[in-house]
A and B are shown apart, each in its own frame.
Chain A
Amino acid sequence: MLPLPSLGAEQVFQIGPLPITNTMVNSFAALILFAIFAFFLNRGIKKYYGQPHPDPLLRRRGEKADKAPKGVLNFFESILEFILAQIDNVTKDRKKTLKFLPIVGTLFLFILVSNWMGLIPGTGSIGIHKGTEFIPLFRPANTDLNMTLAMAVFAVVGSHIIGIFTIGFFKYANKFIKLGDIYFAIKSLNPVKILTAVIEFFVGLIEIFSEAAKMVSLSLRLFGNIFAGEVLLTVIASLIGGFGAYLIPLPFMGLELLVGAVQATVFAMLTLVYLTMATAEIHGHGEEEHREQNQQQAGAVARH
């Protein structure tokens, strides 16, 4: 029987004072993979984008044109076209889509590649013995809560920062600490409005906790699914001895491919929703009060 993976990532070696865990090895491998991909993509960009125009008349005027891309660039363009369309569906705005694309796209591709890398043979089986313990050298990056939590914290904190930059600090802060609403409610001297504003104030405070819950749910969902997949594969492989140990896990590996893609989509989509919500302008009570006040003032001026 293969040893079941432990919940936490195991340290495999140390570079100076830096401990390196087996999940870090995998995430670093993913990093190198993306770097290589970026390198080849940029070779394609240089080769196909902004070439001299095929029409000699326009070429003399210095106009540029794109050649039809091939290879890596063409492949990536088709993927990106799909991703952009998906994000457009949520944001309904191309400018916002282009703004969110790097974050959402990176989360999606990184999680997807990390998950699928966990299915490469050797992951979990190549390792070192420390005493009686066996420590695998490679372990899928998302079976480490540190990894998933890092991404979740990045996504949620990032959405807040982008929200602040998009709609302004005070407007954004008013989403959580609704002192502005209370101020306008008291000014209106309407007891119902004051009561609503006080309740809204506490709802706002609860929102702060829900932000923390977002990070926990994002990170635990991804970690739980991928880790469970690893455990499942280990258990299934241990069920039957002999040649069956190679055959029985195969459908489950196919299932894991699907789970990896689904979880990457879920994580990226939720982040996208958080980003869209954070950058949405709120048409709260404060503004309505403002408008009413302005109308009253205008009326008063007219009476004078």
Chain B
Amino acid sequence: MIFNSEILIPIAYAAEEVQTGGVAATLGLNLTYFIGQLITFSIVLLILWKWVFTPVAKKLTERTEKIEKSMRDAEHVTKEKQDFEKWKAEQMVNTRHEASVIISKAQNEAVKTKDVILLQAKDEQTKLVEQAKSQIQQEKNQALTSAKSELADLVTSATEKIIRRKLDEKKDQELVKEMLKSL
């Protein structure tokens, strides 16, 4: 059914054309058509190049780069955060240690100061006691001295009175009583 004249005749024509017009003509090659198609294709290329591929491909590449950069940055930040946490923990330990050292130092200092103050206070106390004692002694001595001199005066004046008057038993006794009263 395929091999009917409608198919065979064009093939026969084509074979004839090959003999007469050459292969190029049979295949329909024609410089004008060729240039026409080349121009059409060039315009399509221009349109797609300038307005389709270049802007979108540029944007896609930019976007890829941006995403890659963000991923790297995020990794970096995570690492920095980890480093910071580690550093922070170390610092906390250090700080605690330092604080305890300072506190113990202060305690030692306080104990020392307390001892010194106590010693000083004791010294002061003994000094004061001694001072008071010596003062008391002095005053006692003074009092004794003045009492002695007054007694002497009294004895003298009494002796005088006795001598002025005529002495008798009765009067003598009265005199002694009087003397004793005035003492």
Contacts and interface: CB of A to CB of B under 8 A. Distances in A.
A110 B53 CA distance: 13
B146 interface: no
Interface string B30-70: 10111011101111110111011111111111010000000
Given A30-B44, A150-B41, A24 B27 contact: no
Interface stretch (B6-14, B80-88, B109-117, B164-172): B6-14
A144 B33 CA distance: 9
B2 interface: yes
A94 B34 CA distance: 34
Nearest to A41: B52
Contacts of B45: 102-103, 106, 110, 154
A151 B45 CA distance: 11
Contact of A109 (B25, B42, B43, B48): B48
Contacts of A34: 44, 47-48, 52
Contact of B7 (A4, A27, A37): A4
A173 B7 CA distance: 49
A3 B53 CA distance: 40
B118 to A, nearest CB: 67
A101 interface: yes
A229 to B, nearest CB: 17
A140 to B, nearest CB: 13
User: Would you call the interface of chain B mostly helix, strand, loop, or mixed?
Assistant: helix
A37 B48 CA distance: 9
B1 interface: yes
Contacts of A235: 2, 7
A247 to B, nearest CB: 18
A1 B6 contact: yes
A18 interface: yes
Residue among A28, A35, A102, A223 with max Cβ neighbours from chain B (10 Å)? A102
Interface string A29-65: 0110011011001100100010000000000000000
Given A94-B61, A146-B30, A27 B37 contact: yes
A144 B59 contact: no
Contacts of B41: 27, 110, 147, 150-151, 154
A6 B60 contact: no
B169 to A, nearest CB: 133
Nearest to B51: A38
A150 B54 CA distance: 23
Given A98-B61, A146-B29, A146-B33, A76 B56 contact: yes
Contacts of A150: 34, 37-38, 41
Given A8-B26, A235-B2, A80 B34 contact: no
Interface of B: 1-2, 4, 6-7, 10, 14, 25-30, 32-34, 36-38, 40-45, 47-49, 51-61, 63
10 contacts: A8-B26, A8-B30, A18-B36, A37-B52, A42-B55, A94-B61, A98-B61, A101-B57, A110-B41, A153-B38
Interface of A: 1, 3-4, 6-9, 18-21, 23-24, 27-28, 30-31, 34-35, 37-38, 41-42, 45, 49, 66, 73, 76-77, 80-81, 84, 94, 98, 101-103, 105-106, 109-110, 141, 144-147, 149-151, 153-154, 223, 235, 239
